[in-house]
Amino acid sequence: MTDKSKRNIYKWEPWFFIFFGLFHLHRIWALIDRESYASFWLGIMRNRGFVYFLLMGILSALCILGIVTFFRETGRNYPWRLIYLCGGAYLLFDLFAIAVGLKFWHRLLDKMFDTGSGSWNLIWGSFILLGGAVFTLGICLLKKTLSGKKQHDISIHVRRQIKEIK
């Protein structure tokens, strides 16, 4: 049996969720201007230029980092770390399918980016809600880590004061 009291939130974890939350929240653009949003992202995916490889590299590295953290913390994981496993596996598959040109995945993406689709608002609205939830998780983790640091700093200060009194 592992000691759950030894749980740790790494300094980068709140920023991981804040980044992914903001990445999903940018899809508000899809609800404002369907044509330019679809054109931009389909262009990025089809042209595979510098921006594509930069973005894919960053997203892949973050997903791998999250998955490694999930397994490294086995037995001490917070429930929210399942996001690393589920979301990371999905995103890595998505990036792989785009990179190797899996036909069924490209057909799915073409349907997702069909600006005339009646499902457009549902699809992109769902991503926006997901982004809001993930961003909120990141902010909550940031607050928790900052308050934990302050408590730790205060306890050091109190111990010093006690030593001075003795």
Residue 2 placed within a domain: no
Task: State the pTM of this model.
Answer: 0.81
Residue 1 placed within a domain: no
- Cβ burial, residue 80 (10 Å; 0-12/13-18/19+): middle
37-64 mean pLDDT: 93
Which amino acid is present at 70?
F
Which DSSP helix (H) or strand (E) runs through 26? none
Residue 136 placed within a domain: yes
Residue 111 placed within a domain: yes
Structural domain containing residue 41:
10-165
Q: pLDDT tens digit string along 8-22?
A: 899 999 999 999 999
Residue 36 placed within a domain: yes
Residue 4 placed within a domain: no
Task: Compute the Cα dihedral for 67, 69, 74, 76 and give only its sign.
Answer: negative
Structural domains in the chain (count) = 1
Contact 21, 132 (CB under 8 A): yes
Residue 52 placed within a domain: yes
89/82 Cα distance (integer angstroms): 11
pLDDT higher than 60, residue 120: yes
